Amino acid sequence: FVLGLTGSGTDAFGTLPGISEHIEIRYLHQIGLTNRQAMAAATNNFCIFFNCKDRGLIEKNRLADILILNRNPVHNLEDLKKINSVYLNGIKLNRKNLIKKHT
């Protein structure tokens, strides 16, 4: 059992918050974690560590914060950047509007 954690709220090694999460996941993979273990460090492991019962997995009675990808990142971590859609509390976000707002 590997319980790694990443910290997307801060920059990592001179990168901006957000993209630093991808870099941290890649670094965890480079030091020996499988792609699945490295991704868990950014998702469900936080819930295990901080005892969150309402997030971290797709199950009934949990918050629906979901990232849907176009490809399976278990095979290639770069596929984490191929985002199809994002849901926050079960509501689909308009990614184009978010990107416009922050550029």
Say what the pLDDT of residue 94 is.
Answer: 92
Q: Mean of the pLDDT values across residues 68-94? A: 92
* pLDDT at position 73: 94
Instruction: Give the residue among 100, 65, 81 at the shortest CA–CA distance from 26.
Output: 81
**Which segments of 1-103 are extended strands (E)?**
66-69, 83-88, 91-92
CA angle 60, 65, 66 (to 5 degrees): 95
In the predicted structure, residue 34 carries a pLDDT above the cut 50: yes
Helix (H, G, I), strand (E, B) or coil at 96: helix
Better-scored residue on pLDDT, 35 or 51 = 35
Taking phi over 0 as left and psi of -120 to 50 as alpha, with beta for the rest, 56 belongs to left
Residue bearing the bigger pLDDT, 21 or 70: 70
- Proportion of the chain in helix, strand, coil states, percent, rounded to 5: 35, 10, 50
* pLDDT, mean of residues 22-40: 90
Q: Could you tell me the pLDDT band of residue 10, with boundaries at 50, 70 and 90?
A: low
> pLDDT tens, 42-79?
877 877 888 888 877 788 888 878 889 999 999 999 99
